Each structure stands twice: as structure tokens, then as C-alpha cells.
Structure 1
Amino acid sequence: MERKNKRIGMAFIGIILTAVSVGIFRYADFGVDPYCVLLTGLAKIFHTSFTMAANVTCALLLLFAWKMKKSLVGVSTLLNLLIYGVVADAVFAALKSVYETPSLIVRIVCLVSALFLLAFSGAMYYTADLGVSTYDAIALIMDDRKIGKFKYCRIAADLTCLIAGILAGGEIGIATVIIALTVGPLIQYFRTNLAEPFLEGRKIPAFLS
């Protein structure tokens, strides 16, 4: 029961923090992650909100994930579909209401914080194994089919999404490139050194405890 409760808690925390990180990225205004570049581009093309673009895209990717590997679809996947866009929009609006035009230092702090938060949250709900976000399922499916190691598959998926997002007119910046090149390896790092030891009751390395 303790392991089950850990998995549920890790999944919930992971989903919420992923959405929070997106809101912070948008507030930092250095660009967003590759997936959100696509979402912001789609929102512009179809003249709709970020939340609507996220929900529709997630629904389409959900069908793909269900067809390719049903085990990746679970409670986390459905929760992500329902709350991802809403929470991201809410965090962005809340930060804007506190400080409309943040200084460069604040923006940089937000960027770095959001980057590590995104990687940490991904590691948490991947390890919980109660389903993953529909976008994150792409790299896991590629890894499962031996196309390449997860971190490289994630980079490939991010770069593909980035190109599509640019063509769609999405928000892009230096942060977009940083995220595309670093999040995959960072997620793997947090999984190996934090999320998996926590779930299995093993000792977490001293520099992370």
C-alpha cells in the first residue's frame, strides 16, 4: 500500500508541477518548451486559447499513445489532459498579476527554476508509472521500440515539435533551444538519482537529499 500511495502522490505532483513550470516559462518570456511552441502556434492559427489548443492536441496524441502502447495511458494521462492547460494559464496569470514586467534577473531565475522543475516533474510521473502525458509518451514509445535511448528520443521529439511550432508561428526564444537540448538528459538524471530511489525505498544520493 505504501508503494501504491507513493506512486499516486508522485504522479499527481509531477502533473501539477509540469503545468506550473510551463506557466513560469511563459512568464520568464525567454521562450517556452518545444511542445508549448507548437501549442502557442496552433492557438494563433485557430484563434483560440492556449488551454483549448492544449486540450485538443492532448486528445489527439492520446489516441496515438493508446494505439501504440496502451500501458502508457493511465490516470496521469487523463489528469494531464484535464488540468495541464488550465493550471499553466492560471500560474501565468497569477505571476503577471503580482508583477507585470519582471526584471531581467527575475526572468533568469524563473527560467532556471522552470527548467529544473520541468525535468523533476517529468521524472516523478514517469517513475510513478500510472500513465504519462500524451506528448511525453512519444519519446517513451520510441525508446520501447528500440529506436534509441530515451534521452536521445526525447531530444528528437522536442526538435521535431519545435520545427512544427516555428512553422505555426509559436512563441520561441533562447529558452526553447535550452529546453530541447537539456530536458531529456535532466529527466533521466532525476529518475536515476531521485525518483526511482524514493519509490523503491533506496537511499537517495547525499547531494540530492
Structure 2
Amino acid sequence: MTRRLVQLLVGLWLYGATMAFLVRAGLGLDPWDVFHEGLTRHVPLTFGQVVIVVGALLLLLWIPLRQRPGIGTVLNVIVIGVAADVTLAILPPADGLAPGIALLVAGVVGNGIAGAMYVGAGLGTGPRDGLWTGIVRRTGLSVRLVRTTLEIVVLVTGFLLGGTVGVGTVIYALTIGPLVQLFLPWFEARHVPAAEPAEA
């Protein structure tokens, strides 16, 4: 359990940090972060604070869906936003295309590793993932339909609010699933059976 908790915390911190990489790259964000960034242009909150507030509000939507949060869910809401703000405070915006591409690649790959780490810990889904899994469970609709619809809605809304959409948005959408699948076996928690009692 201790190892899983450490893995969860490291994964969540890395996830928030690599989100900041994508912000600083300036080449486009994933759909939810387009939404988060768009909100920062209209409310007196930092990017990380918006991530935290949105995550907390999404948990309220879990109530009618009868989703149960785990410790990973609660930590997800807090740690990712804090990590994003800390990294943004340290990391300046990319100065040119080449540094931007480097940050984009590091952000996408790092995000894939981080996602595999916190999912593999098996201590609860994040508030955004829990939303679509809850809708799928309650409605019987397909995962592809529900997840795609949600991400299109937040992407378009975020874009209209002023969030950054670009080539990075497309690259992220096409690669994040395969990357998480690639790295997940490295971090997936395995339950070790209890040892057989020694014979007298």
C-alpha cells in the first residue's frame, strides 16, 4: 500500500508538471486543459487553481452518478493543480519553435508516464475520468461516444473562452492513449497472494 501511495503521488505530481510543460510550449493543450486555460482568462485564479476548482466541482457531479471516490481521486484534485502552478512559476514560456517542440514532446510523453503511474496505483480515478465512466455505467452508452462527446464539449468551450488549441492538441489526442497503454504494465499494481502458513 505504501508503494502504491508513493507511486500515486509521484504520478500525480508528474502529471501536473507535464501539464505545465504543454502550457509553456504554447503549441496546443489537451481538451480539458484548453478549458482550464480558457477559464483563467475570465476568473482571478491561476491555472492550477482552476484545475483544482474544476476537479472539485466535477466530484459533485459524481453524486447523482453514484460514483465513489478513492484516496487517489481526492489527491488528484489537489496535487495536480499544485504541481502545475509550481512548475509554471519555475518554467518560462518556450523561446522559439524548437524549445516549444521539445516541451511539447516532453509534456506528452511525461503525461503518458504519469497517467500510467496514477492509474496503475489503483487508488481511485480522477474526477474527469470518473465523470465519463459514471455516465457510461448509468446510461449504458458506449465509452467512445461519452468520452468523445465530453472532450469535444470542453475543447470547444475552452477554445471559445480563449484556451490554446493547436498542433499539440492533435498530437496529444492521438498519442496519449497508446502512451498510457505502453507504460501501464510498468506501474500496474499487482496483488501478491498471502503466503501459505508453514506446516507444524
Q: TM-score, length-normalised on structure 2?
A: 0.81
Equivalent residue number for residue 207 of structure 1: none
Per-residue Cα deviation, 1:11-46 (whole angstroms, up to 9, x for no partner): 112211110111111111112221111011112123
- Matched residue, 2:108: 115
Name 1:60's counterpart in structure 2. 57
Identity, in percent, stands at 31
Q: Where in structure 2 are the equivalents of 1:13-92 lying within 5 Å?
A: 13-71=10-68, 73-92=69-88
Q: Which residue of 1 aligns with 2:197?
A: none
Runs of 4+ in 1 over 6 A off after TM superposition: none
Provide the residue aligned with 1:185 in structure 2. Answer: 178
State how far apart, in whole Å, the 1-side matches of 2:102 and 2:9 are. Answer: 25
Q: Structure 2 regions of 5+ residues with no counterpart?
A: 193-200
Equivalent pair of 1:14/1:122 in contact (CA under 8 Å): yes
Unaligned runs of 5+ in 1: 203-209
Instruction: Evaluate the alpha carbon distance shift between residue 65 and residue 117 of structure 1 in structure 2; reply closer, same or farther with a 3 A threshold.
Output: farther
Count matched residues.
191
Is contact 1:119–1:186 with CA below 8 Å preserved after alignment?
yes
1:146-165 residue CA offsets vs partner (Å, 9 max, x unmatched)? 5335x775444333321121
Return the index of the structure with the highest Cα Rg.
Answer: 2
Structure 1 residues 83 and 18, CA, compared in 2 at 3 Å: closer, same or farther? Answer: same
State how far apart, in whole Å, the 2-side matches of 1:142 and 1:110 are: 34
Q: Give 1:47 deviation, angstroms.
A: 4.1
Equivalent residues in 2 for 1:99-114 (5 A)?
A: 101-114=94-107
SS in structure 1 of the partner of residue 91 of structure 2: helix
Partner SS state of residue 127, structure 2: coil
Amino acid paired to 1:180: A
- Structure 2: which amino acid aligns with 1:75? I
CA RMSD of aligned residues (A): 2.5
- Superimposed CA distance per residue, residues 28-85 of structure 1 (whole angstroms, 9 cap, x where no aligned partner): 11122211110111121234322332222111101113442433x1222222222322
